[in-house]
């Protein structure tokens, strides 16, 4: 019991601590590739502290939904984060939910974000919510199918069990092609879900392009801080998911302090590498027009489906 | 337990007769009809719970003077479950009616409306209790007719009459198919008793079994509103008084689910080929996806909810269909899981859909319009209705930790477990069905973000919404009652699953409650903990705890500065409701992405000022989506029958003598046939 509680606290702390770093790292990589020096990777931490201390301004048209949303989004994203293994493969909250629960917990945040966007009464919020809805509806089928393709190999849809089994029995993959397809699909999904180029641009406030930023446009002060932190957390959740499901090597499979320490270091290295990859992608591609995003997400869906098909064909 | 049945019967009969004793006073009539209904439905709730927990089915019968008809009832666990569902929703609707019927005072007879409502609930209860084919059909027909009369309550409006007629025709077409299915049973067993349907002397011929399957699917499918038989539903459900809509959408369409389970799992004992289940699954997936897609385009709140009934029936059928597939491969545990997921969603949908319809009724009561574009900002004017509607919206969007999430999660798990089926075709099709369910899930989320956001948030968009007032207390109590259940059934699946397991056990032949409940009931784990597990109480606890963590962070890291209130920045001009996003605008990207399904036609006419073509005087915008099923399926059918009727006109000369001759000739012909 005590061990579980410690692990939960540890995982919460790691996720909370690491997410601003990931955001800073992506910004730094982009800046360097654009031949700028860029802000320090620690800048997002300073931003958060500053935002928490500012006096928030709340629109007179809003209701309690607007002030409750940041807490709901923060809590749902963090709860989703507790279902994903990070530095240890035996997450204590593993039993509380599988991949479907993760998807729907994130959807809970999305639902309230859309509502908050509408609540302020300006057209921007509605626009963002409307776009978020269509992007989310196209990503989730691909996400569920791609995870399912992997779950079949491990015989589980609980993320910790998948990771633990893959890490302990390294040889269970007979052929990597279904996994590679699912990986590609999930990576596209992650880009779309976390609002990254080529689906959304987190660095813009232009009404033609913004999705996530449009929904949170009216937020300020501590509310904005919580939402920014939650956005970072969502990124961390997806990167942990990809890193540990597809490359569980090095993750702590036992409860010894040494294994934990190694696990933590390897985990940080893995998600940092993924963050760098996202930074590079953001520099290489332009943002897609909203109605071209469907093609990209269609590709993700087909890839996931092919992964599943390959799995069955290779098995039989 | 039979005493309780008498209480129930007495309550409903009192609710039918008492209001007519007081011809003058509408308020007294209202109480005289609603209070007995509350008593009767409460008795129904207890009866349902007792029936679920008792080990032996309770039976009773009365002989009648009509040949072949025995008034036989049987309260087994399946019937008890549906009695419970009907009664819970009926109870909420009856409490609601106390407040809501005031809306109709002076416009229509409250006594008639209340009496019809009581009779309707009574007929529905007997549909699921009946243990005799003839009796079942009688109750079924009574239920359909009474609901028709309730639908046309506001018959002075032309669209209400049209909706009523459409409904009346469709429901009778459906009933005809059910009659055929029962007649096939009757022909081979010589009795209408369900007991002989279950154990016929000689088993039904394979071809006949298939015919029964199809007839029952079409017949019950029409009532359930599965695509493409759903077309009547979005017309009929919205025009009825809202508490009636809640019962129609919440439970009446579920009697069709009852019928399907009764015929396939009880009468046939779960003996059927895999393609039966696959057909049900396919229809379920189609209904789920198309239901939500059409719902998204609706801006009439009650029509939107009606389309969601189509969608949810689809999800229920996904569960039942996958259960049937597993059953035909002899995978009993998984069959039980699929069925359990289906019936769990049945009660959940009954609860949240009734809640949402009651919420829509409160909005209609307060604003006199069903058009969402005229709502807005109502959360401030109607905080309780808003809160309850939000709980309903979160539940129907299957977001944790509410009840919709638990049952959809179970459907997902049973679809994922398809890898145990020996055929590759089904192994691939079931995950695709899961993907369709995922797509449906997010579209529902989008639809209810729209429904709640446009209705309750931002500024009022019309004078109606500006002057809206909170619903009367009985209406709030009814909504709160259902909202509590929506949350309770979400965070306490360990209480619900063992009860539902009692329904599933006799049907699938295996009890799975013990396999599903892991860690002392804290988690649901279909088949095994390794494959998947879910603990909504823990998720709910985590959500609360981490929200508090967020609050704590905000307090410790930042100042406790009180937020400043200021108007939303509108680019320098004052914000007006016309700047808000509309429901039409909100779904525009979805309409565009799925334009192959919608086939939208958009018409924009602009009238310019004479002086300059840069200034518009007036703009007229119209947009329609193609009603594909009505245009390509029903219109040709209607045209065909109209033409046929035209041809048959020659034998209808209007002369009484001629008709008597027809009757005589038919009689002779029949006598000759009999000889």
pLDDT at position B654 = 81
- Inform me whether the C-beta atom of residue A152 falls under 8 Å from chain B C-beta atoms: yes
In order along chain B (675 residues), what is the average pLDDT of each group of 10 residues?
Answer: 89 92 83 93 95 88 81 93 96 95 84 94 95 94 96 93 94 95 90 89 86 96 93 93 95 96 92 94 96 94 96 96 94 93 96 97 93 92 96 96 95 90 89 93 95 94 92 95 96 93 92 83 81 91 95 85 87 86 92 89 85 84 84 92 91 86 94 87
Higher pLDDT, residue B284 or A175:
B284
Label residue A191 exposed, middle or buried (CB < 10 Å: 0-12, 13-18, 19+).
buried
> Cβ contacts (< 8 Å) between B534 and chain A: which residues?
96-98, 100-101
CB within 8 A of B597, min separation 6: which ones? Answer: B290, B293, B628
Contact A98 B534 (CB under 8 A): yes
**B219 vs B484: CA distance, rounded Å:** 34
**B312 vs B82: CA distance, rounded Å:** 17
Q: How many angstroms away from the CA of A123 is the closest CA of chain B?
A: 5
> Which of B436, B452, B457 has the most A C-beta neighbours within 10 Å, making it the best mutation to test the interface with A?
B457
* pLDDT, tens digit, 9 for 90 and up, residues B374-395: 999 999 999 999 999 999 999 9
CB within 8 A of B42, min separation 6: which ones? Answer: B87, B91
**B492 vs B327: CA distance, rounded Å:** 28
Q: Single out the residue of B331, B273, B260 nearest to residue B526, CA to CA.
A: B331
Q: Residue A166: pLDDT band by 50, 70, 90 thresholds?
A: confident
Q: Say what the pTM is.
A: 0.95
Taking every pair of C-alpha atoms in chain A, what is the biggest distance, in angstroms?
63
> Cβ contacts (< 8 Å) between B519 and chain A: which residues?
95
The per-type count for chain B, helices as H runs and strands as E runs, is 29, 7
Cα-flanking dihedrals φ and ψ of residue B326, to 5°? Answer: -60, -40
In chain A, where are the structural domains located?
A: 2-315
**B406 vs B634: CA distance, rounded Å:** 37
**B534 vs A105: CA distance, rounded Å:** 12
Within a 10 A sphere around the Cβ of B370, how many other Cβ atoms? Answer: 20
> Which of A118, A151, A157, A165 has the most B C-beta neighbours within 10 Å, making it the best mutation to test the interface with B?
A118
pLDDT at position A171 = 52
The DSSP bridge partners found for residue B616 are B608
Contact B441 A105 (CB under 8 A): no
Within a 10 A sphere around the Cβ of A312, how many other Cβ atoms? Answer: 17
pLDDT at position B65 = 80
- Inform me whether the C-beta atom of residue B552 falls under 8 Å from chain A C-beta atoms: no
ipTM associated with this complex: 0.96
Distances (CA, A) of B304 to A75, B307, B468: 30, 5, 21
Q: Residue A11 pLDDT more than 60?
A: yes
Crossing angle for the helix pair A257-284 and A2-33, to the nearest 10 degrees: 30
* pLDDT, tens digit, 9 for 90 and up, residues A236-292: 999 999 999 888 888 888 888 899 999 999 999 999 999 999 999 999 998 888 889
> Which of A49, A67, A122, A149 has the most B C-beta neighbours within 10 Å, making it the best mutation to test the interface with B?
A122
- Inform me whether the C-beta atom of residue A278 falls under 8 Å from chain B C-beta atoms: no
Distances (CA, A) of A53 to A47, A50, B553: 10, 5, 11
Burial code (b: 16+ CB inside 10 Å, e: under 16) for A154-186 equals: bebbbbbbbbbbbbeeeeeeeeeebbebbbbbb
- Inform me whether the C-beta atom of residue A298 falls under 8 Å from chain B C-beta atoms: no
CA B101 to chain centre: 22
Q: Residue A173 pLDDT more than 70?
A: no
Contact A122 B579 (CB under 8 A): yes
* pLDDT, tens digit, 9 for 90 and up, residues A89-143: 888 888 888 889 999 999 999 999 999 999 998 889 999 999 999 999 999 999 9
DSSP assignment of A45-87:
HHHHHHHHHSPPEEETT--HHHHHHHHHHHHHHHHHHHTS-SS
Q: Which three-class secondary structure state does DSSP give residue B280?
A: helix
**B641 vs A315: CA distance, rounded Å:** 53
């Amino acid at each position: 019991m005590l061990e579980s509680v410690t692990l939960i606290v540890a995982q919460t702390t790691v996720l909370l601590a690491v997410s601003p770093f990931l955001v800073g790292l992506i910004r730094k990589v982009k800046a360097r590739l654009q031949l700028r020096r860029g802000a320090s990777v620690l800048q997002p931490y300073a931003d958060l502290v500053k935002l928490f201390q500012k006096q928030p301004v709340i629109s007179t048209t809003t209701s309690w939904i607007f002030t409750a949303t940041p807490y709901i989004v923060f809590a749902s994203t963090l709860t989703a984060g507790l279902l994903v293994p990070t530095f240890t493969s035996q997450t204590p909250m593993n039993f509380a939910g599988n991949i479907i629960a993760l998807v729907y917990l994130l959807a809970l945040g999305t639902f309230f974000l859309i509502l908050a966007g509408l609540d302020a009464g300006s057209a921007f919020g509605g626009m963002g919510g409307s776009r978020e809805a269509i992007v989310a509806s196209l990503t989730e089928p691909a996400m569920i199918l791609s995870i399912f393709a992997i779950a079949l190999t491990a015989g589980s849809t609980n993320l910790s069990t998948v990771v633990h089994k893959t890490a302990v029995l390294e040889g269970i993959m007979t052929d990597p092609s279904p996994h590679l397809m699912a990986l590609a699909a999930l990576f596209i999904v992650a880009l779309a879900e976390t609002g990254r180029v080529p689906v959304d641009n987190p660095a813009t406030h232009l009404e033609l392009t913004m999705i996530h930023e449009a929904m949170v446009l009216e937020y300020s002060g501590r509310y904005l801080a919580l939402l920014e932190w939650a956005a970072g957390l969502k990124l961390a959740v997806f990167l942990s998911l990809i890193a540990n499901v597809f490359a569980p090597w090095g993750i702590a499979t036992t409860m010894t302090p040494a294994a934990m320490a190694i696990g933590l270091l390897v985990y940080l290295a893995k998600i940092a590498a993924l963050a760098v990859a996202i930074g590079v992608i953001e520099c290489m591609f332009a943002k897609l027009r909203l109605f071209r995003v469907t093609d990209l997400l269609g590709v993700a869906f087909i890839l996931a489906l092919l992964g599943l098909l390959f799995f069955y064909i290779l098995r039989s | 337990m039979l005493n309780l049945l008498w209480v129930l019967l007495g309550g409903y009969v009192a609710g039918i007769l008492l209001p007519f004793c007081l011809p003058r006073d509408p308020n007294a009539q209202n109480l005289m009809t609603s209070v007995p209904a509350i008593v009767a439905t409460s008795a129904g709730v207890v009866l349902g719970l007792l029936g679920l927990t008792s080990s032996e089915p309770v039976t009773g019968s009365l002989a009648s003077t009509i040949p072949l008809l025995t008034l036989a009832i049987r309260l087994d666990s399946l019937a008890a479950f549906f009695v419970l569902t009907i009664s819970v929703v009926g109870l909420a609707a009856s409490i609601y009616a106390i407040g809501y019927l005031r809306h109709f005072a002076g416009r229509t007879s409250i006594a008639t409306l209340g009496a019809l409502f009581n009779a309707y609930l009574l007929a529905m209860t007997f549909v699921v209790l009946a243990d005799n084919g003839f009796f079942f059909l009688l109750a079924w027909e009574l239920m359909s007719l009474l609901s028709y009369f309730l639908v046309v309550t506001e018959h002075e409006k032309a669209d209400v009459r049209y909706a009523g007629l459409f409904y009346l025709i469709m429901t009778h077409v459906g009933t005809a198919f059910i009659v055929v299915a029962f007649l096939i049973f009757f022909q081979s067993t010589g009795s209408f008793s369900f007991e002989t349907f279950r154990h016929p002397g000689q088993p039904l011929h394979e071809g006949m079994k298939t015919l029964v399957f199809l007839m029952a699917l079409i017949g019950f499918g029409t009532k359930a509103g599965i695509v493409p038989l759903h077309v009547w539903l979005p017309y009929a459900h919205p025009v009825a008084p809202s508490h009636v809509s809640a019962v129609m959408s919440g439970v009446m369409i579920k009697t069709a689910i009852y019928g399907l389970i009764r015929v396939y799992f009880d009468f046939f004992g779960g003996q059927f080929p895999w393609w039966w289940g696959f057909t049900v699954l396919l229809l379920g997936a189609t209904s789920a996806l198309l239901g939500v897609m059409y719902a998204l385009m609706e801006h009439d709140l009650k029509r939107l909810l009606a389309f969601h009934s189509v969608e949810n029936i689809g999800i229920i059928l996904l569960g039942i269909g996958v259960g049937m597939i597993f059953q035909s491969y002899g995978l009993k545990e998984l069959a039980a899981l699929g069925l359990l997921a289906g019936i769990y969603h049945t009660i959940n949908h009954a609860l949240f859909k009734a809640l949402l319809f009651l919420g829509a009724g409160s909005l209609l009561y307060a604003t006199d319009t069903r058009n969402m574009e005229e709502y807005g900002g109502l959360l401030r004017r109607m905080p309780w209705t808003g809160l309850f509607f939000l709980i309903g919206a979160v539940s129907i969007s299957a977001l944790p930790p509410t009840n919709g999430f638990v049952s959809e999660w179970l459907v997902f798990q049973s679809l994922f477990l398809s890898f145990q089926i020996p055929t590759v075709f089904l192994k691939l099709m079931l995950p695709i069905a899961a993907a369709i369910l995922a797509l449906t899930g997010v579209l529902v989320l989008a639809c209810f973000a729209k429904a709640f956001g446009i209705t309750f948030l931002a500024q009022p968009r019309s004078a109606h919404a500006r002057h809206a007032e909170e619903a009367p207390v009985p209406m709030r109590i009814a909504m709160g009652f259902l909202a509590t259940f929506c949350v309770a059934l979400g965070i306490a699946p360990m209480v619900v699953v063992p009860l539902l397991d009692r329904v599933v056990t006799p049907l699938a032949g295996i009890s799975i409650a013990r396999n599903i409940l892991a860690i002392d009931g804290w988690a649901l784990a279909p088949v095994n903990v390794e494959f998947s597990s879910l603990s909504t109480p823990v998720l709910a606890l985590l959500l609360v705890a981490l929200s508090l963590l967020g609050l704590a962070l905000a307090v410790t890291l930042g100042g406790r500065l009180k937020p400043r209130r200021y108007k939303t920045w509108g680019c320098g001009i004052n914000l007006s409701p016309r700047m808000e996003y509309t429901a039409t605008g909100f779904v525009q990207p979805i309409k565009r992405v799925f334009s192959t399904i919608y086939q939208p036609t958009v018409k924009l006419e602009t009238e310019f000022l004479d002086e300059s073509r840069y200034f518009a005087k007036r703009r007229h915008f119209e947009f329609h989506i193609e009603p594909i099923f009505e245009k390509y399926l029903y219109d040709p059918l209607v045209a065909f029958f109209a033409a046929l009727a035209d041809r048959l006109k020659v034998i209808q000369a209007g002369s009484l003598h001629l008709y008597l001759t027809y009757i005589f000739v038919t009689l002779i012909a029949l006598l000759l046939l009999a000889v």
